[in-house]
Chain A
Amino acid sequence: MTTLRQIAVLGRRAFMRSIRQPGQLAFALVFPLFFLFVIASGLDRASALPGFPADSYVDFMFAIPFVHGALFTALNSAIELGRDIDTGFLNRLALTPARGVAIMLGNLAGGVALVLIQFAIYFVGGTLLGADFHAGLLGIPVLFALAAMGALAIGAVSMMVALRTGSPEAVQGIFPLFFVALFLSSMNMPRNLIQTDWFRWIATLNPVSYLIEGLRSLVVVGWNLQALATGFAITSACVAVSLYFSAGAFRARLTRT
């Protein structure tokens, strides 16, 4: 059996397990759209600020549910991995011919498959709320791909925590850190309009800003290749680095000979 086939089999399992937990799924679907609705309607007048890059605040915030969804689903996947370690399910998988890389990526693949479905729902929801997606039909797969890269990056970091600690609770514990990282980015305001120096400085260093700006560019501009290239490059680098460290944690956890 090829490694890809093993990833597919394990990804299917991760996907099935997730969709059979409706409470978890509902939160990851409802909260991002609710957030978009509340924030976009409450802060719509911000779009009148001189230099504001979008026609409406809904357009400006349209990318955020994708980042929220990526965060929730990636974290949930890592929590499930922590549970697998805790319950011994990882040992069950380790006793099969499944390759280590397949066990690791299978879990992420299930999360990515789920998040892609969520993205479709966010897209429809955002459009119904009045967002104008300037990149057109071709931009949709690019939007989904970049957001899925974000999910992969968050998933790999969370997975490393799960593998290091073997505890689903420890993974839950890093959620506030991600949320803070999200708020200390250009999520609510373009970086050039952030008036507080330290906030702007942190937002500039924060890779989440570049993910959001890449996604946002597809909505408010259409095809801004520089924003997209930067978004993809920085997010890919985050995926590569976090997967590298996750792989190390995985080797330390899975000591089978």
Chain B
Amino acid sequence: MSAIVAERLVRQFKAVRAVDGIDLEVADGEIYGFLGPNGAGKSTTVHMLTTLLPPTEGRAVVGGFDVLADGPKVRETIGAALQEAALDPFLTGRDHVRLQASLHGLSRDERKTRGDELLERVGLTQAADRKVRTYSGGMKRRLDLALALLHRPSILFLDEPTTGLDPQSRNALWVEVARLAKEDGVTVFLTTQYLEEADVLADRVGIIDRGRIVAEGTPSALKAEIGRPTVQITPREAGDRQRILDALDRFGLPVEGKPGCVAARLDHGYDLVDVVRALDAEGVPIDHLELDAPSLDDVFLAKTGHRLEGQGDEPELEPEPAERVGA
């Protein structure tokens, strides 16, 4: 059975279609990476799948329950750590655990046992009685994760869980998320704008741009689809760029390169040696030459025409109260 199914899911805010007909299916126990730039519709999708926002059109089934018809049952099934760990700075970590466990109806004993177990798992036992305002960004994220897991959900939504974290905290969170899926069989729906995160963690990746899924598959399949490596050449003289482009013309299509580089995606049958020979034959001096294997960013570029990394910081659209259903 699929843990998450979305069919033609749409969310419209006035004239803006933040999510524009998404179809996706996430298998039980899978880590699904939802990759896209800021403002692509990732968080809006998560809000719909977690019942926080009703879809304008389409339907979604999470844990076997329809998000519109069975909201409370969906919420019993899922755990969620939404963008920006939403914690009360004046409560301690343990207060948060107690509050959330109580609202989930855990018994007093269970609250203590489960709370202590999760605080230990995320490495917050020592800091559990400190107010959250003294926590670092990584500690807040780990507490957020622990809170999402309190009631033993079978599906976990993580909305950009590592944004703003240092590499060490990011790695620690990756390890825990991977462990959850592998050992506990938790299905993880993870949104991210980090290519590396999707590459390392996700079994499958959905790439979203401007509210639509533009590509979906395992990271390796998506990269294989692009298939061809890119040659990046740094000219010794800036005036030689056109000569290099001309020389590369027969090997493949020119693409946007790294700063100062001339780049081309090599067609099948060509490799670095061919390029070096051609440049040598043309007598074009170069400073540096390298061959890049395709990355998810290349996949993103190929599918959308622009790169994911270095996208603007346009925020996700959040509904105004007047726009919400029931307003």
What residues of chain A have their CB less than 8 Å away from a CB belonging to chain B? Answer: 1, 6, 9-10, 13, 16-17, 20-21, 84, 87-89, 91-98, 163-164, 166, 249, 251-253, 255-257
Chain A hits for B326, CB < 8 A: 251-252, 255
Contact A257 B102 (CB under 8 A): no
Q: Which of A10, A89, A93, A163 has the most CB of B within 10 A?
A: A89
Instruction: Given contacts A1-B105, A255-B325, A257-B54, list 18 more A-B pairs with CB under 8 A.
Output: A1-B103, A6-B103, A13-B95, A16-B90, A84-B88, A87-B86, A89-B86, A89-B88, A92-B147, A96-B75, A97-B72, A251-B326, A253-B324, A256-B52, A256-B53, A256-B71, A256-B75, A257-B67
Among B146-187, those with CB < 8 Å from A are 147
- A215 to B: closest C-beta gap in Å: 31
A13-B88, A88-B83, A92-B147 as given contacts; A98 in contact with B51, CB under 8 Å: no
Alpha-carbon gap, A10 to B54, bound state (A): 25
Tell me what chain B mostly uses at the interface: helix, strand, loop, or mixed.
loop
Inter-chain CA distance A163–B321, complex, in Å, is: 8
A17 touches B91 (CB 8 A): yes
Query: What CA separation (Å) do A41 and B321 show in the bound complex?
Result: 48
- Are A249 and B321 in contact, with the CB atoms below 8 A? yes
Given contacts A17-B90, A21-B90, contact A97 B67 (CB under 8 A): no
> CB-CB contacts of B78-111 with A at 8 A, as 1s and 0s?
1010111011101100010001101111000000
Q: Which residues of B contact A1 (CB under 8 A)?
A: 102-103, 105
Identify the closest chain A residue to B75 (Cβ): A95
How close is A21's CB to chain B, nearest CB, in angstroms?
Answer: 6
Minimum CB–CB distance from B327 to chain A (whole Å) comes to 4
A1-B102, A95-B80, A98-B103 known; A252-B68 Cβ under 8 A? no
CB distance from A47 to the nearest CB of B (A): 43
Cross-interface CB contact of A20 among B54, B71, B131, cutoff 8 Å: B131
Within the complex, the shortest CB–CB distance from A69 to chain B, in Å, comes to 20
Q: Of all chain A residues, which has the CB nearest B76? A: A97
Name the interface size band of chain B: 35 or more
B295 in the interface (beta carbon within 8 A): no
Q: Closest 6 CB pairs between A and B?
A: A88-B86, A257-B71, A96-B103, A252-B327, A20-B90, A255-B324
Q: Which residues of A contact B324 (CB under 8 A)?
A: 252-253, 255
Give complex CA distance A92, B54 in Å: 17
Known: A252-B327, A257-B67. A9 touches B87 (CB 8 A): no
Given contacts A9-B99, A255-B54, A255-B326, contact A89 B87 (CB under 8 A): yes
Interface of A is mostly: helix
**B322 in the interface, Cβ–Cβ < 8 Å?**
yes
Find out whether the CB atom of B75 lies under 8 angstroms from the CB atom of A97.
yes
Q: How far is the CA of A163 from the CA of B324 in the complex (A)?
A: 12
Q: Please name all residues of chain A whose beta carbon is closer than 8 Å to the beta carbon of B102 when the two chains form the complex.
A: 1, 9
How far apart are the CA atoms of A87 and B75 in the complex, in Å?
Answer: 20
- How far is A96 from B67 in the complex, measured between Cα atoms in Å? 15
A257 to B51, CA, bound (A): 5
B82, A91: Cβ atoms under 8 Å?
yes
Contacts A1-B103, A251-B326, A257-B71; is A92 near B52 (CB within 8 Å)? no
Partner of B321, one of A87, A96, A164: A164
Q: Cβ of A95 and Cβ of B88 under 8 Å apart?
A: no
Distance between B111 CB and nearest chain A CB, rounded to angstroms: 11
Rounded to whole angstroms, the CA-CA distance of A97 and B99 in the bound complex is 12
How far apart sit A6 and B54, CA to CA, in the bound complex (Å)? Answer: 25
Is B86's CB under 8 angstroms from A92's CB?
yes
Task: Check if B319 is an interface residue, CB within 8 A of chain A.
Answer: yes
Give chain B residues whose Cβ lies under 8 Å from the Cβ of A163. Answer: 321
Known contacts A97-B104, A257-B51; decide if A88 and B90 are in contact (CB<8 Å).
no
Q: Is B86 in contact with A255, judged by CB distance below 8 angstroms? A: no
A93 and B88: CB pair below 8 A? Answer: no
C-alpha gap A211/B67 in the complex (Å):
46
- B325's nearest neighbour on chain A, judged by CB, is A255
For residue B45, CB closer than 8 A to chain A, the reply is: no
Contacts A/B (CB < 8 Å), 29 sampled: A13-B88, A13-B95, A16-B90, A16-B95, A17-B90, A17-B91, A84-B88, A87-B84, A88-B84, A88-B86, A89-B87, A89-B88, A91-B52, A93-B103, A95-B50, A95-B51, A95-B75, A95-B80, A96-B103, A97-B105, A164-B321, A252-B322, A252-B324, A252-B326, A255-B53, A256-B51, A256-B71, A257-B68, A257-B71
